[in-house]
Amino acid sequence: MPLSQFVVPEESGDVARAWARVRTNLRESAGARLFDQWLKPMQLEDSGDADRVRLTLPSAFMTNWVRSHYADRLYHEFRAVLPSVRAVAIETAAVRDMGGVTALAAPVASVPAVAPVAAETAAEPVIADAIERPALEPRYTFDRFVVDASNRVAFNAAKALAEPGPVRFSPLFLHSGTGQGKTHLMHAIGHSFMAAMPGARVIAMSAERFMFDFVAALRARDTFAFKARLRSADLLLIDDLQFIAGKDATQEEFFHTVNEIMAAGKRLVISADRCPQALDGIEQRIIGRMAIGLVADIKAPSLDLRRTILDRKAAELPDTKVPADVLDLLAGRITGNIRELEGALNRVVAYAQLTGETINLDFAVATLGDVLRGSVRRVTIDEIQKLVSTHFDLKPVDLVSARRARAVARPRQIAMYLAKRLTTRSLPEIGRKFGGRDHSTVIHAVRRIEELRDTDREVDGAVRALMRELEG
């Protein structure tokens, strides 16, 4: 029987055929390496329910990773192939053949990867207008978001929008590079708003999903239901707006949806990887609507933020101790992306569990060799001194001189700070490159610039400009 998006098959073999299609799609989208490591071990099990898919993995650690990164994707992949699917459960498989005795792995709650679209019972039909519950990641809450100067404005704006009562501003537009917390904040808004307003209708989707659903509605000649569903939302969350760039029909519908939500005084949150004005391929009228609300950016995470995030993640690992020097290595070498940072920690822990080895600095370096080589900073102190002196209209010799005038001392501190951040040189080596200064002078300079970046926009702007040029 051929698969069809309009005819829902009922034979049990349809789930197996859908699973084969889903695995093929995952391999193509995730890449062979990631697929083989995390997704290939998944097995399709009999759930005892025709509308529920049950997938199992060999360890609790792998189960948690797949839930965190692929739960939503798995649900939508199954729905695209087999529309009768209402939930996808990701569980840890039973462990067998332990000395002839069957034993079970530590129990892991069998929760649906994504909440069902509508509540169903055996005796009652689906209620079409039941309150919609979005597929929000349970870990992405405000209390689990680590705040510092790089993301404080975005965090406070997100909390304000999630509060019940009159809408203070809408839309909220969040932008940052990949893996720096946009999606976390969006899901946190959803969790907080639903907790405060249990009867509210909240819809969360990526812009790509918006486009997919809109095109499906066009093909099914049922755009009315699509429009009515989105425009009835009390809170609409749209992630990664850049993915509809150049899609004229989708942008037309998106524009009207945004207008309806804003005109009704409801809450709208949009995210993208760039500020509205830098979104190529997005219509100006949409950009104009985004600018009406509040635009908040999330900057690249500082060293302190990266270290704090790793501390929190490491504390949550069951029965696993990650030494401080390993966390220092990860925080110092993986600088631009929180998702990659967490992924590196997960990889070290997973390899240690699989091999039975103790986590230490040598093990981390061996495990993350390719990751660390890709992040090695090739900037030299001479390059830093030359660029800083040009930026502040000084001579390179001024930075290594004994002059203490503020016009020289501050650029010298900035150059020392950049040398510590962007090179692998030790503190004594940096001191020697700046006129034979003591390592304590370098420590003072680094701390002073870190403090000023939080309070002095001019210093922070200069450091950012210099880092972009040096790392570019």
Query: Is pLDDT of 110 > 90?
Result: no
pLDDT bracket for residue 8 (50, 70, 90) = very low
Same domain as 172, residue 287 = yes
Nearest to 43 by CA among 56, 53, 34: 56
Same domain, 150 and 166: yes
423-447 pLDDT, tens digit each: 878 888 899 999 999 999 999 999 9
pLDDT for residue 114 is more than 60:
no
- Provide the pLDDT for residue 120: 33
179 is in an annotated binding site: yes
Cβ(173)–Cβ(296) under 8 Å? yes
Q: Is 155 found in the same domain as 43?
A: no
pLDDT at position 98: 37
Higher pLDDT, 59 or 349: 349
**Same-domain pairing of 393 and 347:** no
* Residue 329 pLDDT class (50, 70, 90 cuts): confident
Over the chain, what is the mean pLDDT? Answer: 82
Which region among 91-100, 133-142, 294-303 has the lowest average model confidence (pLDDT)? Answer: 91-100
**308 and 249 within one domain:** no
Angle formed at CA 107 by CA 101 and CA 111, multiple of 5 degrees: 135
Question: What CA–CA distance (Å, rounded) separates 305 from 338?
Answer: 9
Identify the domain boundary among 297, 326, 352. Answer: 297
In a domain, residue 111? The reply is no
Residue where a domain terminates, one of 374, 392, 419 = 374
CATH of the domain at 235: 3.40.50.300
> 8 in a domain, yes or no?
no
Q: Of how many residues is the chain composed?
A: 472
The pTM of this model reads: 0.54
Helix (H, G, I), strand (E, B) or coil at 371: helix
* Residue 407, in any domain of the structure: yes
Write the DSSP assignment of 78-130 as a string of letters: HHHH-TT--EEEEEEPPEEEETTEEEPPSP----BSS--SS---SSS---TTS
pLDDT at 373: 63
Which one is predicted more confidently, 147 or 280? 147
Max mean pLDDT among 237-246, 310-319, 368-377 falls in 237-246
Is the predicted pLDDT of residue 346 greater than 50, yes or no? yes
Co-location of 166 and 262 in the same domain: yes
Q: How many domains does the chain have?
A: 4
Residue 436 assigned ligand-binding role: no
Structure tokens at 175: 């932008």
User: How many whole angstroms separate alpha carbon 244 and alpha carbon 210?
Assistant: 9
Q: Tokens at residue 51, please?
A: 């509308």
Number of H-type helices and E-type strands within the chain = 20, 10
Query: How far are the Cα atoms of 86, 163, 320 from residue 108, in angstroms, in the given order?
Result: 21, 33, 18
- State the average pLDDT over residues 116-123: 33
| In a shared domain, residues 71 and 159 | no
Provide the residue range defining the domain that includes 70.
13-103
Task: Indicate if 389 and 365 belong to the same structural domain.
Answer: no
Q: What is the pLDDT of residue 396?
A: 87
Tokens linked to 363: 């093990």
Q: Is 227 annotated as a binding residue?
A: no
- Check pLDDT > 50 for residue 102: no
Rounded Cα distance, 308 and 183, in Å: 19
CB atoms near residue 447 (< 10 Å): 12
pLDDT reported for residue 182: 92
Using the 3D structure, point to which of 348, 374, 400 is the last residue of a domain. 374
| pLDDT band (50, 70, 90) for residue 58 | confident
Highest mean pLDDT pick, 121-125, 152-156, 175-179 = 152-156
Residue 374: pLDDT band (50, 70, 90) is low
The C-alpha atoms of residue 290 and residue 276 are separated, in whole angstroms, by: 7
Residue 111 pLDDT > 60: no
Q: Are residues 193 and 310 in the same domain?
A: no
Residue 181 is assigned to a ligand binding site:
yes
In sequence order, what are the residues at sequence separation of 6 or more whose Cβ sits closer than 8 angstroms to the Cβ of residue 244? 207, 208, 210, 211, 250, 251, 254, 282
Q: Which residue has the higher pLDDT, 16 or 120?
A: 16
Q: Report the pLDDT value the prediction gives residue 189, as an integer from 0 to 100.
A: 96
